[in-house]
Structure 1
Amino acid sequence: MSAQLTRYLPILDWGRTYNRKAFGNDMIAAVIVTIMLIPQSLAYALLAGLPPEAGLYASIAPIILYAVFGTSRALAVGPVAVVSLMTAAALSNIAELGTMGYAVAALSLAGLSGVILLAMGLLRLGFVANFLSHPVIAGFITASGIIIAASQLKHILGIEASGHNLLDLVVSMVSHLGQIHWMTAIIGISATAFLFWVRKGLKPLLRKMGVGAGLADVITKAGPVAAVVATTVAVWGLNLSDAGVKIVGDVPQSLPPLTMPSFSPDLLRQLLLPAFLISIIGFVESISVAQTLAAKKRQRIDPDQELIGLGAANVGAAFTGGFPVTGGFSRSVVNFDAGAETPAAGAYTAIGLAIAAVALTPLIFFLPKATLAATIIVAVLSLVDFSILKRSWVYSKADFSAVLATILLTLGVGVEAGVSAGVALSVLLHLYKSSRPHIAEVGLVPGTEHFRNVLRHKVETDPKVLTLRMDESLYFANARFLEDYVHARVAKDKNIRHVILQCSAINEIDLSALESLEAINTRLAEMDVKLHMSEVKGPVMDRLKMSHFLEELTGEVFLSQFEAARHVKDSPATV
């Protein structure tokens, strides 16, 4: 019972060994991440179409809940760019921006996403993430990054623009270019340029000045805070809000409120698909970061428990005024690099954000929205990686086609279409590849007992024996392919009297494949050819023994391919 409880409450595992050293390291990491998260949380709420305080609220309870249920020691949970964009895309079709209905729909979307993630975790469906190919996900994130950056240009320039795909955004912005608010543009462009310089140039400059590596890193991470402070002071001091510079305005000075999502069947039906897509994309992004960071310290991540941790975090967001959340790449890396040892660092970060929500919100009244937009643009452009197109083109044309289609659909239609295409293309790509498995005709390497591809090695073959090695499990999608291949190969060579199916790479044979094997056996028997099998794995043999196939097999089953070849070499040709 204790082990089962620890599985669902990982805090009971790392909490038992928590000590003063871990506390000190976690606190340092929490301070750094909190400084980074304050402007990020406000910015991502803006991206999701919600008031800025929603970003703070979505970064408090979810982090604490993940600390209790999650298995990653370094993952920092909260609003992220891609999920915020998907949230905006989903809600814009349901409610009007800025209305109470929009905010309630955001709560419901987070709650529904949380329930989906929890259900997947309890059913141990963490393997579902494997159906999304990483090149396709990289393509989707790249296209989303471009759309996000383009969507924030309206705040940088102080103009009106709308659209959920790149084409609509560009057309809308071009039509409003004559309305550029130059003071807003100066603030936005300056903040963007400063943040890009901070990311690339500040740390090397500080190191040249003799600042220690750790302190230089902290100062660099605090760059967005400096931009926030500088532009806020400028707007306040010069009274630029009266001149038309859009500001954040009043932000409630309070802890996250208790909120209630809507349980309207009609609303939940409309949100079901977006919630599922957000859950899958959020989980894939989160588990990728968590596993990468865990590997550096030889720690273990449980994908099924991660689903539960992220599910609890999203349910928490739904009842505390937030919106969908997941593990963020940049803040998790910062958390890891800052020395976080346990998920308690996330809980301390939540406390820091709670203090900010209570004490610091009056200070951001004059914060220009252009600065938040600059924060988003700089953050998301690091996600854009067109090199995936070159790598996939060189390595696999099929992968390239899937990546390109995902990017084009995301840019041209929208994020929901893009991610739906990504999921579908990942599955179809897998089915396509496995439905046309590699089948090699093999022969004996002289002087050994090893069999290799006749097209790649100098091998010995027997004209009356055909040995085929199928490098894929046999199932419904590829069974007919093997059936057709064997028939075509035997039909064109009248000398063949034995066919040996080398099963060293076959891990499973489903019922459809079994029927194809029976058909192959029957057809070969009609052609006076025996069918043999070699190197059949134990679990596969156990399944075959449950059928009548082995009794009807015209040949035999051999432990090794060498034994099979030696046995049939001088055997009679009759069936």
Structure 2
Amino acid sequence: MSTDGGLVRRPERDLRTFLPVLAWLPRYRVGRDLSADLVAGIALAALLIPESIGYAGIAGVPPEVGLYAAIAAVAAYALTGGTSILVVGPASAVAALSASLVAELTSSGADPAVLTAALAVSSGLLLLLAGLLRLGWIVNFISRPVLHAFVAGLSVSIIIGQLDGLLGVEIDAETAVGKAWQVVARVAEWDPATVALGVLGLGLLVSLEHWAPRVPAALLVVVGGIALVWLLGVDEVSIDVLGTIPQGLPSPDLPGLDLETWLTVTAGGAALVLVGFSEGFAAASSVSDRTGEAVDGDQELVGAGAANLASGLFGGLAVSGSLSKSAASQAAGARSQVANLAAAAVVVLTLLVLAPVFELLPEAVVAAVVIAAVLPAASPSRVLDLWAVNRLDFAAGLTTFVLVLVWETLPAMIVGVALSLLFLVRRASFPDVVELRPDHDGTFAKVEDGVPGLSRPDVAVIRFEASLVYANADRLARAVDTLLGERPGLKVLVLDAEMVADLDSTGAETLHALDDRLAAADVEMRLARIHRRARGQLQRSGLAARFEGRILPHVLPAAEED
């Protein structure tokens, strides 16, 4: 095991870490856990089936595509995923992004369902490759504020996009804002029966989830909607229903596309990787907080990749980890991935036997299920709360949130990531450089904190509060110039390097140049509290020999020695 990262170490890899099922299945206690997992699996299926059908609608593909994805993704993640009860399946963000990407690719003449499956395959392969290369750290480049804002904006967009099914009105606008305007402008076209059923279903879902969270609200509303249409008769009501759902299971097959289209699809798959894995990793982290498990980002890449690849090969859409479904499964008593496999088995049974029943499912009920599922994530409060914490995060989050509503999802995500990286570079480029003075207890504090001054005015202590690299090295030089101008009698300058965890060639050149400049002004430069890594870099650059005798372990001796 490598110790280069100190206490942050990469897990060792072997067959059992690549296929975690080999580790947890032999330890599975059938007598204690099986009954709980089966009950949880049935409860999970009550949520998984209607949501998968709804997310298929968001993705712009037939309802069975969502069910295919649910079966394949759950089975694949159970073998390769590293989190015991995380549910991987169709999800709102990836479904909406998939629809946006497919809309840009339909000019090729390919079937949208084929393109959707191809996107799942391409994103799955990219995720697997990233997992094998141990690139789980990449997710850190999408800041949490941008991710939360993207998910919130996308959730609002999804809710607005479901209003046509909920209200029985035609909407043809491209953006969420345009759709919302059309819904209001066409109020006279709302279908009364559809509105009544959709609003009633949504009200029941929200009420039951709040007051009776253990009740399978989605299942009750779905069964009630189907029963109502069956009793009244499809031909006697104006309510739109799902229509034909093919019975049977799909056979695995690679989507039939030409090479040029595959290359274009793969570029879109990269976008799905960013969004899907970010959302899935956030869900895995939340689940692990409750189970006490450690989340391995590299293994989650492998698990997400296997789930997406399996979904695409079986004709499904892209998937990701789902916090809502995982929480529902855990609340129902799930102990392991066996619960998710049990839910997948119920979905298989649905396709084999119950498909004709779901053909009577009203689209208004599907819309209500989707809206209720994404409603908690649609709150903009997580974006607004950023104002009190960090204004740059707020600016990036608010920009991403607004762009999702007024533009397309992929460009909005790209802009959000770009802003995240831009602000990260800005933070690294403008670290504080502060002068320190000793406190009464021997520690050091900033000059502006009002602590007593140095007993020796010819000695100054400064602290550079970042790694010293090419993006910020000039700030140290400018700070020293300012200090020399303010302290004409200066004889000793101590650089407190406690926060300089890294040093590049530009940083080394800056230290060399500063030492020359200070020596010319008859000022001795000393270094204190050098980190192990920075000390090694000083050694390799030759600066350790130059500063020999002037590198001290603590600030106080460096400031007091003659």
Judge same fold: TM > 0.5, yes or no. Answer: yes
Shift of 1:416: 1.1
Q: Structure 1 residues 6, 479: CA separation in 2 closer, same or farther (over 3 Å shift)?
A: same
Match in the other structure for 1:503:
497
Shift of 1:195: 1.6
Distance 1:369 1:520 in 2: 71
Shift of 1:350: 1.3
Match in the other structure for 2:152:
142
Q: Which amino acid aligns with 1:22?
A: D
Distance 2:444 2:399 in 1: 40
Match in the other structure for 2:63:
52
Moved more, 192-201 or 107-116: 192-201
Q: SS where residue 537 of structure 2 aligns?
A: helix
Distance 2:141 2:391 in 1: 19
Deviations 1:165-186 (A, max 9, x none): 2222134434544432222222
> Is the CA contact 2:127–2:301 (under 8 Å) kept in the aligned structure 1?
yes
TM-score under structure 1 normalisation? Answer: 0.91
Q: How is 1:27-66 mapped onto 2 (pairs within 5 angstroms)?
A: 27-66=38-77
Please, which of 125, 128, 139 is the counterpart of residue 115 of structure 1? 125
> Is the CA contact 1:165–1:415 (under 8 Å) kept in the aligned structure 2?
no
> Is the CA contact 1:235–1:241 (under 8 Å) kept in the aligned structure 2?
no
Q: Which amino acid aligns with 2:343?
A: T
Q: SS where residue 499 of structure 2 aligns?
A: coil
Q: Structure 1 residues 482, 268: CA separation in 2 closer, same or farther (over 3 Å shift)?
A: farther
Distance 2:235 2:112 in 1: 26
Shift of 1:75: 0.4
Moved more, 351-360 or 141-150: 351-360
Match in the other structure for 1:16:
26
Moved more, 72-81 or 477-486: 477-486
For the pair 1:225 / 2:219, whether they are aligned, the reply is yes
Please, which of 353, 356, 361 is the counterpart of residue 362 of structure 1? 356
Q: How is 1:172-211 mapped onto 2 (pairs within 5 angstroms)?
A: 172-174=182-184, 176-201=186-211, 203=212
Q: Structure 1 residues 3, 142: CA separation in 2 closer, same or farther (over 3 Å shift)?
A: closer
Distance 1:488 1:454 in 2: 15
Q: Which amino acid aligns with 2:28?
A: Y
For the pair 1:7 / 2:17, whether they are aligned, the reply is yes
For the pair 1:106 / 2:100, whether they are aligned, the reply is no
Please, which of 389, 402, 412 is the counterpart of residue 408 of structure 1? 402
Q: SS where residue 258 of structure 1 aligns?
A: coil
Distance 1:505 1:232 in 2: 64
Shift of 1:457: 5.0
Distance 2:518 2:331 in 1: 63
Q: How is 1:412-423 mapped onto 2 (pairs within 5 angstroms)?
A: 412-423=406-417
Q: SS where residue 59 of structure 1 aligns?
A: helix
Distance 1:218 1:200 in 2: 10
Shift of 1:549: 2.1
Match in the other structure for 2:298:
304
Distance 1:554 1:493 in 2: 26
Moved more, 285-294 or 363-372: 285-294
Moved more, 42-51 or 192-201: 192-201
Match in the other structure for 2:446:
453
> Is the CA contact 2:214–2:331 (under 8 Å) kept in the aligned structure 1?
no
Shift of 1:37: 0.8
TM-score under structure 2 normalisation? Answer: 0.93
Q: Which amino acid aligns with 1:563?
A: P
Q: SS where residue 469 of structure 1 aligns?
A: strand
Q: Structure 1 residues 459, 255: CA separation in 2 closer, same or farther (over 3 Å shift)?
A: farther
Distance 1:441 1:487 in 2: 13
Deviations 1:362-388 (A, max 9, x none): 111111111101111111111022222
Shift of 1:263: 5.0
Moved more, 485-494 or 310-319: 485-494
Q: How is 1:274-293 mapped onto 2 (pairs within 5 angstroms)?
A: 274-293=268-287
Distance 1:241 1:227 in 2: 21
For the pair 1:525 / 2:519, whether they are aligned, the reply is yes
Distance 1:164 1:463 in 2: 68
Distance 2:238 2:71 in 1: 33
Shift of 1:262: 4.1
Q: Which amino acid aligns with 1:113?
A: S
Q: Which amino acid aligns with 2:298?
A: D
Shift of 1:312: 0.6
> Is the CA contact 2:460–2:559 (under 8 Å) kept in the aligned structure 1?
no
Q: SS where residue 494 of structure 2 aligns?
A: strand
Q: How is 1:470-485 mapped onto 2 (pairs within 5 angstroms)?
A: 470-485=464-479
Deviations 1:117-164 (A, max 9, x none): 111111111111112221221111111111100001111122221344
Q: Which amino acid aligns with 1:404?
A: L
For the pair 1:394 / 2:388, whether they are aligned, the reply is yes
Deviations 1:432-477 (A, max 9, x none): 112111222111112x332222222514423222211122222222
Equivalenced residue count is 549
Q: SS where residue 106 of structure 2 aligns?
A: coil
Q: SS where residue 17 of structure 1 aligns?
A: coil
Q: SS where residue 104 of structure 2 aligns?
A: coil
Shift of 1:553: 4.0
What residue ranges of structure 1 are gaps of 5+ in the alignment? Answer: 204-216
Distance 2:307 2:261 in 1: 21
Q: Which amino acid aligns with 1:508?
A: D
Match in the other structure for 1:313:
307
Distance 1:162 1:470 in 2: 56
Shift of 1:550: 2.6
Match in the other structure for 1:212:
none
Q: Structure 1 residues 294, 554: CA separation in 2 closer, same or farther (over 3 Å shift)?
A: closer
Distance 1:200 1:228 in 2: 18
Q: Which amino acid aligns with 1:218?
A: R
Q: Which amino acid aligns with 2:118?
A: S
Distance 1:388 1:61 in 2: 33
Deviations 1:209-256 (A, max 9, x none): xxxxxxxx432xx11112112222222222244544221111011123
> Is the CA contact 1:452–1:459 (under 8 Å) kept in the aligned structure 2?
no
Q: SS where residue 340 of structure 2 aligns?
A: helix
Shift of 1:273: 4.1
Shift of 1:197: 1.9
> Is the CA contact 1:164–1:415 (under 8 Å) kept in the aligned structure 2?
no
Match in the other structure for 1:261:
255
Distance 2:256 2:413 in 1: 25
Distance 2:173 2:263 in 1: 24
Distance 1:223 1:103 in 2: 29
Q: Which amino acid aligns with 1:166?
A: A
| % identical aligned pairs | 28
Match in the other structure for 2:134:
124
Q: Which amino acid aligns with 1:133?
A: S
Deviations 1:15-35 (A, max 9, x none): 121112122222222111111
Backbone CA RMSD of aligned residues = 2.1
Distance 1:438 1:371 in 2: 56
Distance 2:118 2:155 in 1: 25
Q: SS where residue 128 of structure 2 aligns?
A: helix
Match in the other structure for 2:533:
539
Distance 1:80 1:425 in 2: 25
Distance 1:348 1:483 in 2: 64
Q: Structure 1 residues 297, 234: CA separation in 2 closer, same or farther (over 3 Å shift)?
A: closer
Distance 1:342 1:483 in 2: 57
Shift of 1:194: 1.9
Distance 1:119 1:483 in 2: 43
